Amino acid sequence: MEPEIFSTLPTGNPILAYGTSGRFNKTKAIKIITAIFGALLCAALIWFIFYFSFPFPSQTVLLMATKNNGAFNSTPNIWGRAAQNNIRPLVLGMAWTDKGFVPFVITLRKGALAAEYKYDVGPVNILSDEPLALESKRKTKDILGLVLKLAGDNQGFLVVDGGIFLGEKWPIISGPISDGIWKTDLDLSAPQIDLPKGDVAINTKILPQAWPPIRNALEMSGLVNLPSDTPSLVAWHVNNTTIGSLELQYENNIPQTALQQMSAAAGIYSVKIISLPDGNVAEEFELPNDSLSTNTTSSGDYRLLTTTNTLLLSFNNASDKVDTDIGCQLDDSILNIKGEALELLMDRLKIPTSIQFSAFEAASQNGNLIFCLK
């Protein structure tokens, strides 16, 4: 005989006689839902920051974040208008196109900055005065990371990718920039050597790979037969868009081949008449084998001056140029471009005329490469 179960509960439900009825815990449920929602939100944020990518101008050479302290207020292009609109932080860029360098600005989509071209991509607007090809991709973390570099005393943070022009092996250089001084993360140690005077001066001992393109550029400007031997220091002046003088300094004595090539460029040679086996005569040009005397003057347009380790080639009709722009005056300078030479360089590179500098200098300080824009 099975036992009988009697319930004394008011409801008379015999099943509830085995225990008590549990209540619905509202607080615990809210905590669970909040935790799930928070985890989903964190996952979405992590995905948005680290994995979400959006269209970006192809061949972007420069990206810079700045606290917008007025440095670009007078720049008459999209950069200046963004600065005047008090956009903070200000994220600027420059891309290479078939029209040259094109500046652009990155703002949040709620921004109302006027521009000829406006691209709504992801969470931002990309604004420019010239059309851009958005054939590249960038992640949110690339832009956000750039802005976070403004923490502390940094007025700005600059990233430059020269690989577009110099090849993929060229490193992407970045670092803080304040008061026109850009301290990069590129390691470079250089002995202290005073650069010669000139509109352009380069320490080619530290940058030997710079001499071949410099040589080609100078020869395209009219100076032919320049030495293939890499000098330690190179400098030249510019007079009315042409090369007025060229100075090459070697670490030791002038290489014989360099002396002969510069002599040929200056037109300094002797002519020897020789008889040929067929009875005809011909002219044989002889270049000097020893060091030339100081202020040797050719019969052509050039004047060549030599010392133990220096070759100075100049035009006979070129006036002596006095340096009026002292540049940035960095210690341990390895590159200095200023005055008319810098204007010509910016024009050749198709840098917008609205972006103007009077001096550009590079130096090695504390084992790193730094630049000065004045």
d(CA 77, CA 93): 12
Residue 22 has pLDDT above 80, yes or no: no
Q: Kindly tell me the sign of the dihedral angle through the C-alpha atoms of 94, 95, 98, 102.
A: negative
What are the start-end ranges of the H helices in the chain? Answer: 26-50, 78-84, 140-148, 163-166, 211-220, 256-266, 339-348
| Radius of gyration over every alpha carbon of the chain, rounded to an integer in angstroms | 34
Residue 287 has pLDDT above 60, yes or no: no
- Let me know: does 247 contact 312? Beta carbons within 8 Å: yes
Residue 170 has pLDDT above 80, yes or no: no
| CB neighbourhood size of 39 (10 A) | 10
Q: Where are the domains of the chain?
A: 54-179, 200-373
Q: Please state at what angle helix 140-148 crosses helix 26-50, rounded to 10 degrees.
A: 90
Of the ranges 2-6, 100-104, 243-247, 302-306, which one carries the lowest mean pLDDT score?
A: 2-6
Of 293, 292, 273, 295, whose CA–CA distance to 283 is shortest?
A: 273
Of the ranges 107-121, 232-246, 279-293, which one carries the lowest mean pLDDT score?
A: 279-293
| DSSP 8-state secondary structure symbol assigned to residue 203 | E
At residue 305, the 3 state secondary structure works out as strand
Residues in CB range of 127: below 8 A, 6 or more apart: 78, 82, 104, 105, 106, 107, 113, 115, 117, 118, 119
Q: Are strands 242-249 and 333-338 parallel, antiparallel or unpaired?
A: unpaired
Query: Buried (b) or exposed (e) across 143-175, using 16+ Cβ within 10 A?
Result: beebbebbeeebbbbbbbbeeeeeeeeeeebbb
Structure pTM? 0.71
In this prediction, residues 100-118 reach a mean pLDDT of 83
Q: Which residue has the higher pLDDT, 325 or 66?
A: 66
CA distances to 11, 15, 16, 22 from 5, rounded to whole Å, are 15, 9, 11, 22
The pLDDT of residue 242 is: 76
Q: Mean pLDDT for the chain? A: 79
Residues 139-167 pLDDT 10s:
888 888 898 888 877 889 999 987 776 66
The pLDDT of residue 326 is: 55
Secondary-structure percent of the chain, ordered helix, strand, coil, rounded to 5: 20, 35, 45
| DSSP 8-state secondary structure symbol assigned to residue 224 | -
The pLDDT of residue 82 is: 86
